[in-house]
Amino acid sequence: MSVAESMDKLIDDEMLVSQFQAGRQNAFDELMKRYKSKIFSYLLRSVRNYEDAEDITIEVFFKAYRALENWQPKAKFSTWLYKIAANLAIDYHRAKARHPVYALEDMEIPEANLVATDQYSNPVKEVEEQELGRIIREAVDQLSPKQKSVFILNRYEGLQLKEVAETLGMAEGTVKIHLHRAMKRLQTLLQPLWENNEI
């Protein structure tokens, strides 16, 4: 890591936003570099489709760019960015519910993932693991939209309950209730797997 890169890491998001508001446009590049993977992965988990997740990620940063000029640091920049992403994901799910598209398989597995990566790999085990992963992801998809959002933001994106509450516009206690219900629902759906020694 170069000295310049190390220095960049030391600049916090809010400072970059201030620089952007003061006219240093490159600060937005740095913010995108920091958050594009996180926002993309969050949206991919939410919408389960690469192309849609990419389009919504672009929309998130597009909206952020246009709103950043007047942004006030009431919450962390990252929380605000996740809030934009969460709202767009909700819009996406609403639109999809109104106009359902029946695809054979939304989450396509890239062909490269199906190729054995070394001579000691076990294809049968890999297929079993992929199948297990699919079952678990389907279980997560069966959660209600709020339960799923809370679970993904807290568990996979590493947001604290307070940050999840700010992102989704809920009270912290409500977030905890949704998280508990999500865990209990997943337990009901998946417990047979380990009780029947299928994993």
List residues binding other proteins (CB under 8 A). Answer: 24-26, 28-29, 32-33, 36-37, 40-41, 44-45, 50, 54, 57-59, 61-62, 65-66, 110, 113, 129-130, 132-133, 136-137, 140, 154-156, 161, 176, 179-180, 183-184, 186-187, 190-191, 193-194, 199
Rounded least distance, CB 62 to other proteins, Å? 5
**CB-nearer residue toward other proteins: 12 or 51:** 51
- On whether the CB atoms of residues 111 and 79 are closer than 8 A, the answer is no
**CB-nearer residue toward other proteins: 28 or 71:** 28
**CB-nearer residue toward other proteins: 69 or 98:** 69
**CB-nearer residue toward other proteins: 98 or 195:** 195
In the structure encoding, which two tokens stand for residue 71, read together? 């942004």
**CB-nearer residue toward other proteins: 61 or 92:** 61
Rounded least distance, CB 108 to other proteins, Å? 11
**CB-nearer residue toward other proteins: 86 or 148:** 148
H, E, C per residue of the chain: CCHHHHHHHHCCHHHHHHHHHCCCCHHHHHHHHHHHHHHHHHHHHHHCCHHHHHHHHHHHHHHHHHHHCCCCCCCCHHHHHHHHHHHHHHHHHHHHHHCCCCCCCCCCCCHHHHCCCCCCCCHHHHHHHHHHHHHHHHHHHCCCHHHHHHHHHHHHCCCCHHHHHHHHCCCHHHHHHHHHHHHHHHHHHHHHHHHCCCC
Rounded least distance, CB 54 to other proteins, Å? 5
- On whether the CB atoms of residues 161 and 154 are closer than 8 A, the answer is yes
Distance, CA of 104 to CA of 21 (rounded, Å):
45
Rounded least distance, CB 40 to other proteins, Å? 6
Rounded least distance, CB 109 to other proteins, Å? 9
Rounded least distance, CB 74 to other proteins, Å? 24
